[in-house]
Amino acid sequence: MARIVVVGAGVAGLSSAMLLAKDGHDVVVLERDPAPPPTSADEAWDDWDRRGVNQFRLLHYFLPRFRLLLDAELPEVAAAALELGALRHNPIALAPAEVTGGLRPGDEDHEAITARRPVMEAALARVAASMPGLTVRRGVAVTGLEVGAPVAVGVPHVTGVRTDTGETIRVDLVVDASGRRSPLPSWLAAIDARPPVEEVEDSGFVYYGRYFRSADGSLPVAFGPPLQHYDSLSILSLPADNGTWGVGFVTSAGDPALRALRDPEVWSTALQLYPLVAHWADGKLLDDQVAVMAKIEDRHREYHVDGMPVATGVLAVADSWACTNPSVGRGASIGLLHAVTLRDVLRGSSLDEPLALAHEYHEATARTVEPWYRSTLSFDRSRLAEIDAQRRGASYDGGPEWEITQAMGFASMQDPDVLRGFVRIGGLLSLPEDVLAQPGFLDRVIELGAGWRDAPGAGPSREQLLAGISA
């Protein structure tokens, strides 16, 4: 079995490390942030200093695919999360039978396990801390890569890492899980590797989020999906652990009028204008401020260029490989799926053949997680363009893929089969193309969803919103 270093103890770093340790590898996780994981949900939320993760206290919801993978691969993490107060939450089971047609076999797939991000990460950290074959060292930052004899011409071979504690740690494989700001490209440049091909741009969205808690552990009733799209903004309403929940506005960064949402009073006033979610403010606020996050980049790094890896002995997982605007809440699920992919590739290949391993990981990444990255990016681009059109009072023509997505959303309220297909995509359970390929599915979407543009809005127009928040 191999010696492996994982860089970063975030959601994907800890998941990867645990999956690899379970397979008998000797795994060390190096995490820059020194703070030890807390033992309770409240400590995790109130005190855990995790400045290495910008989005640590911002709105998070963990999708059904995340739960499915946890239950299958890391059930002890699911158990620890529940012990810390995480919520098993199945929107299909909670929706009225008139909409769902009643519960059916297979509906259990739609169950999510969700919590505030610090609480979910505390569960991962708790299990990782006591897992045989796994050591998590906090307060140790990786600063660069060690190299040995190359296994292919012009391709450096990584044999370990250097740290800010002055150590050199030699291993068979380095897994980079250092997140959306991963320094891996600069480490590779320092060992004379070819640069990865990077696609990067500002996603163009801004988040304005807040967390609430009920006095009795209950949650607000959901009158719609967790992500609702309105005229020129979207709203998230996300159940979490221990009677807490998050609510947030997602706007275009190019919309100065809505920057007022950073003001707590304006934020609260705005929420009251949306009847389907106004009651999500009926709780105790966990923070006085609105948590704002802007300049969220969509980034994809291809470490396999012109048919060859830029280096062997190092593999990037999760956000370090690719990350998008998070309004559809997919990052942790894609990250966990990528961690499982990494584990599966290592099961089928030998670390004695690093070049073959790099090729196999590249192919498996392209097969399992890349389609989700592309699909998320495509949705986000269209939604941003639609918001920008709405701001101008123009109608938006996003092309056939966008039309079908919108029609599917509209038809899902009228047809239980379409609903299930729609939520399978939302839950990261099935890709859009697979759902649409089901016999008769597209016909139903076109028949029932064609009128989506004429559906009455459930919230204020942009004019009413702007008037409401400036009153």
> Contact positions toward ligand FAD, by CB under 6 A?
7-13, 30-33, 52-53, 55, 58-62, 141-142, 177-180, 183, 207, 293, 296, 318-320, 323, 326, 329-333, 335
Kindly state the smallest distance separating residue 277's Cβ from ligand FAD, in Å.
Answer: 16
CB of 335 to ligand FAD, least distance (A): 5
Least gap, CB of 55 to ligand FAD (angstroms): 3
Q: Least distance (Å) from ligand FAD to the CB of residue 221? A: 21
Token pair in block for residue 433: 């193309």
| 8 Å CB contact between 362 and 304 | yes
Q: How far is the CB of 316 from ligand FAD (least distance, A)?
A: 9
Choice between 207 and 211, CB closer to ligand FAD:
207
Between 293 and 466, name the residue whose CB sits nearer to ligand FAD.
Answer: 293
13 or 354: CB nearest ligand FAD: 13
Nearer to ligand FAD, 62 or 373 (CB): 62
Least distance to ligand FAD from the beta carbon of 321, Å? 8
413: its two tokens: 């309220």
Tell me the closest approach of the beta carbon of residue 424 to ligand FAD, in angstroms. Answer: 16
Beta strands in 306-444 (DSSP E): 308-309, 314-316, 322-323
**One-character DSSP codes across 104-122:** -TTGGGG-EEE--HHHHHH
Return the number of the residue (30 or 92) whose C-beta is nearest ligand FAD.
30
HSE, CB side, 13 Å, CA atoms: give it for residue 373: 25
Reported in sequence order, the residue ranges of 124-254 that DSSP labels E, i.e. its strands, are 134-138, 142-152, 155-163, 168-170, 173-176, 197-202, 205-213, 227-230, 233-239, 244-252
Residues with Cβ within 8 Å of residue 463, at least 6 apart in sequence? none
Answer for the pair 208, 289: CB distance below 8 angstroms, yes or no: no
In angstroms, what is the minimal distance from the CB of 118 to ligand FAD? 11
CB closer to ligand FAD out of 219 and 411? 219
- Return the sign of the alpha-carbon dihedral for residues 11, 14, 20, 24: negative
* CA dist., res. 6 & res. 179, Å (int): 12
CB of 287 to ligand FAD, least distance (A): 15
Please identify, using beta-carbon distances, which residue of 7 and 123 lies nearer to ligand FAD: 7
Can you tell me the distance from the alpha carbon of 90 to that of 85, in angstroms, rounded to the nearest whole number?
A: 16
For ligand FAD, the closer CB: 183 or 421: 183
| C-beta closer to ligand FAD: residue 109 or 121 | 121
Instruction: Give Cα separations from 297 to 253, 300, 301, 377 (angstroms).
Output: 12, 10, 12, 11
- In sequence order, the 6+-apart residues with CB closer than 8 A to the CB of 201 are 297, 298
Q: How many CB atoms lie within 10 A of CB 225?
A: 18
Closer residue to ligand FAD (CB): 39 or 186? 186
What residue type is 326 in one-letter code? P
Please, what is the minimum distance in Å from the beta carbon of residue 105 to ligand FAD?
A: 27
Beta strands, E only, 153-204: 155-163, 168-170, 173-176, 197-202
For the chain, give the longest Cα–Cα distance: 69
